[in-house]
Chain A
């Protein structure tokens, strides 16, 4: 079963609006990472947040981590057409040297 589950599966918003995606996971983790993928190409790393961190920012991106709820959120502010992509969370679990990806949120920015 998937360790990380993104929500929603798909999201369409107007350009300029903010987009929020959530990721829930099942077991305790070392860290959580967010990646972006443009139409079936390679993934691009966005942010890594460690289990002892609660919030991280990178440009228009803001990631939060709530280990008590086993969840993370990715906020993209002032969305642009170029943000249209699939977004994945990936967790590195304490008990295992594996990275597990969720199935992703497909974000579509409308002009």
Chain B
């Protein structure tokens, strides 16, 4: 069975631009969570979607947003990019809430803002 697929794998953007990252979860998984990983802050929770509804949100500014489609695929968007948004963005899928079950992570999208 295919794993979690994140696209693109690498991305370079300029300050002020916006970016959209995509995540295709494992078939049958309804929960998708997004994380930002940086050397300084570590892994930080962005948001979790379950059945097209945002179930929880981390402490990130409104420039970070996401959505989930009926096929459970998810996208996250970052507008007005800042240099500090450079990070590895990881998506995780699970059958139900990631709080209670094993989560499967994608390989991530490495975003560089210049």
Interchain CB contact under 8 A, A45 and B102: yes
A40 to B21, CA, bound (A): 17
Number of A-B contacts (CB under 8 A): 61
On chain B, the residues within 8 Å of A98 by CB distance are: 45, 48, 56, 58, 99
B82-114, CB < 8 A from A: 88, 90, 92, 97-108, 110
Secondary structure at the A interface, as helix, strand, loop or mixed, is: strand
B1-53, CB < 8 A from A: 4, 33, 35, 42-45, 48
Tell me how many residues of A have a C-beta within 8 Å of chain B: 23
B106 — nearest CB in chain A belongs to which residue? Answer: A42
Interchain CB contact under 8 A, A40 and B88: yes
B55 → A minimal CB distance (Å): 6
Interface size band for B: 20 to 34
Among A43, A101, A102, max chain B CB count under 10 A is at A43
Partner of A99 from B4, B98, B106 at Cβ < 8 Å: B98
Q: Which A residues lie at the B interface, using CB under 8 A?
A: 2, 30-31, 33, 35, 40-45, 48, 88, 92, 96-104
Interchain CB contact under 8 A, A97 and B99: yes
Interchain CB contact under 8 A, B42 and A99: no
